[in-house]
Structure 1
Amino acid sequence: MTELPAPLAVHLEEFAEHLELQGGRSANTVRAYTTDIRSLLEHLESMHPGARIADLTLDVLRAWLAAQVTAGAARTTLARRTSTARTFTAWLVRTSRLDHDPAARLVAPRAHRVLPAVLRTDQARELMEAAESGAAEQDPVAIRDRLIVELLYATGIRVGELCGLDIDDVDADRRVLRVLGKGNKERVVPYGVPAAAAIEEWLLRGRPALVRPTSGPALLVGKRGGRIDQRQVRTVVHDAVTAVPGAPDLAPHGLRHSAATHLLEGGADLRVVQEVLGHASLATTQLYTHVSVARLRAAHEQAHPRA
């Protein structure tokens, strides 16, 4: 990674501090924003050696995005980086570091909304049964892995939210989780009887075998006792899904997609699903209605004689 000149580095550091302290962004979001802005400032320096922040113009922004296109960046990536750049330049103007906003006229291609891959309900059932079967061996890691797939599917929470859960976030009596989502917004998410059984088994037989004095209150821990990280969870989900014949290769977010789709197919109200998933906008949740319609259409075309 190229080291930024001090005049540019100070703006990046203070922008990251602003996101953390005033923007209420999660650590992952702050990391993503600062990575994008570092890339922008490195591009600025390459165009204008010895540049200062006042040299950040619309032409520089466009050249930066063009370089992303040349490098093969996806439309979704370009859309995200454009949004990040707008956030950064607006902050520069608010803090009197720039006189005008160079990103005000910056346009990026709209991201294609791709329907996410989801499990069928029978595949989800097979996945949970396979995870439960593995946990029956009483291996603490297998017990934990069962809980991971159960909770992701039962609640539809994000992988970062799962990793951030503490023991006290579990309300076993009411069968709900207290989840800290994007923007440090807290919500309560229910879970069912199978997930409750998985939690109980983990707390009784799994976690005590892995926990260390340094584990703290983390609900889910790794083999060495530290709080489990997202990379480990992705591996667990990938390995679990490969055991289900015909199932798409899903990341943890795929179980979130599956949970939302199955809730809507089961008759849940769209706004209830929005609350469960922690979406700020109902439009985001509506994507899952498109998934359900697409699945219905595919089934109709396959089964109906006059499709």
Structure 2
Amino acid sequence: MNARSGDRLRLALAEYLRTRRALGYALARTEKLLNQFIDYLLATDAAGINTATALSWANLPQAAQGSWRNYRLSVVRSFARYLSNSDPGVEVPAMGLLPYSRPRATPYLYSAAEILALMDAASILSCRQRQATMATLIGLLATTGMRVGEAIRLDVSDVDTSRQLLRIRDTKFGKSREVLLHPSAIAALEKYRTERGQWQSASDCPAFFLSLAGTRLLYCNVHHAFQRMAAEAGLSARSSKCRPRIHDLRHSFAVASMLDAYTTGADGQAQLALISTYLGHIDPAATYWYLSAAPELMATAADRLAAYEEQS
């Protein structure tokens, strides 16, 4: 492949990314990988995009895990499929060439007592600011089902106490939404904001949750602190696939919300649609995964079905 062909591919890549981003995809990693793929085609003087070149690149580096090789090939396959609509010379790699079945973790569903224990365990952190930050963050995740990244990206201006809601901007699919909060949650956020102003009065960072340096929290640091707190709270793995994860606070919120609906006799399907919107899922089908791994929820649903059949 010559430099002119490479330039045409990069222009096509730019258009491909614009098209998909208009649908709400971020694609930062995809952009990086596909530019690396084009570099590879130029460096190896490949004839073009075909199954052989896609596989050769996807299998780099040799020590990469199967999941990473599979992902690299899927990125090229999607791009090749897009190009093939206007260039019949582009060969789209077939599915299943690098088979990999990703084991999915079993959600660790937290009880109310375990969530409180997690928040109390923040006391092991080094100072009052870190303790309050992590305890408030855990409480917010548990009561809203927000993604960790969404909570980290919150700015002070996103917490609307007068309307008792949060504005969650630029989420996983490029969407924004408003999340209503219980008055007790608003009170907890107000308390943290007041204390935060005392600790970080000189910080000009707009983030709601601040690090000791007065900057926005980093996910890796939040994850590390959570693991320490989980150990302190006595939360241990329930199986090899079911370990305490901070993301499972989101699963727990979804399951608890559906259990409340069933307990009060509410319409489960209507509740599911509300939960899906509240969580920021673009399709209610994505919410089903959060619910399918909860024996308590399945049992409650079965009881309601049995009661309905007895009445009919």
TM range, smaller chain: 0.7 to 0.9
User: What SS does the corresponding residue of 2:286 show, helix, strand or coil?
Assistant: helix
Q: Report whether the alignment pairs 1:148 with 2:146.
A: no
- Equivalent in 33, 37, 56 of residue 34 of structure 2: 37
User: What SS does the corresponding residue of 1:242 show, helix, strand or coil?
Assistant: helix
The corresponding residue for 1:303 is none
The corresponding residue for 1:210 is 200
Name the CA distance, whole Å, in 2 between partners of 1:227 and 1:50: 44
Name the CA distance, whole Å, in 2 between partners of 1:199 and 1:10: 51
Q: Do the aligned residues in 2 keep the contact of 1:134 with 1:143 (CA within 8 Å)? A: no
Instruction: Report the count of equivalent residues.
Output: 281
User: What SS does the corresponding residue of 2:178 show, helix, strand or coil?
Assistant: strand
TM-score (norm: length of structure 2): 0.73
Give the CA deviation at 1:67: 5.5
Give the CA deviation at 1:187: 1.1
The corresponding residue for 1:72 is 65
- Equivalent in 55, 59, 74 of residue 48 of structure 2: 55
Summarize the Cα distance change of 1:151–1:55 in structure 2 as closer, same or farther, 3 Å threshold.
same
Summarize the Cα distance change of 1:289–1:78 in structure 2 as closer, same or farther, 3 Å threshold.
farther
Which residue identity does 1:73 align to in structure 2?
Answer: G
Identity of aligned residues (%): 22
The corresponding residue for 1:302 is none
Summarize the Cα distance change of 1:156–1:128 in structure 2 as closer, same or farther, 3 Å threshold.
same
Name the CA distance, whole Å, in 1 between partners of 2:152 and 2:6: 34
TM-score (norm: length of structure 1): 0.74
Name the CA distance, whole Å, in 1 between partners of 2:173 and 2:247: 18
User: What SS does the corresponding residue of 1:178 show, helix, strand or coil?
Assistant: strand
Give the CA deviation at 1:57: 0.6
Q: Structure 2: which 5+ residue stretches go unaligned?
A: 238-242, 262-267, 300-312
Name the CA distance, whole Å, in 1 between partners of 2:222 and 2:161: 23
Give the CA deviation at 1:179: 0.9
Summarize the Cα distance change of 1:175–1:35 in structure 2 as closer, same or farther, 3 Å threshold.
same
Q: Report whether the alignment pairs 1:259 with 2:253.
A: yes
The corresponding residue for 1:89 is 80
Summarize the Cα distance change of 1:236–1:138 in structure 2 as closer, same or farther, 3 Å threshold.
closer
Name the CA distance, whole Å, in 2 between partners of 1:251 and 1:43: 37
Name the CA distance, whole Å, in 2 between partners of 1:236 and 1:16: 39
Q: Do the aligned residues in 2 keep the contact of 1:264 with 1:292 (CA within 8 Å)? A: no
Q: Do the aligned residues in 2 keep the contact of 1:119 with 1:247 (CA within 8 Å)? A: no
Summarize the Cα distance change of 1:58–1:106 in structure 2 as closer, same or farther, 3 Å threshold.
farther
Q: What do you get for the CA RMSD once the two structures are aligned?
A: 3.7
Deviations 1:75-118 (A, max 9, x none): xx566444432332244456x6x445533633464745625332
Q: Do the aligned residues in 2 keep the contact of 1:156 with 1:277 (CA within 8 Å)? A: yes
- Equivalent in 116, 130, 142 of residue 125 of structure 1: 116
Summarize the Cα distance change of 1:146–1:120 in structure 2 as closer, same or farther, 3 Å threshold.
closer
* Range with greater deviation from structure 2 (288-297 or 154-163): 288-297
Which residue identity does 2:248 align to in structure 1?
Answer: G
User: What SS does the corresponding residue of 1:55 show, helix, strand or coil?
Assistant: coil
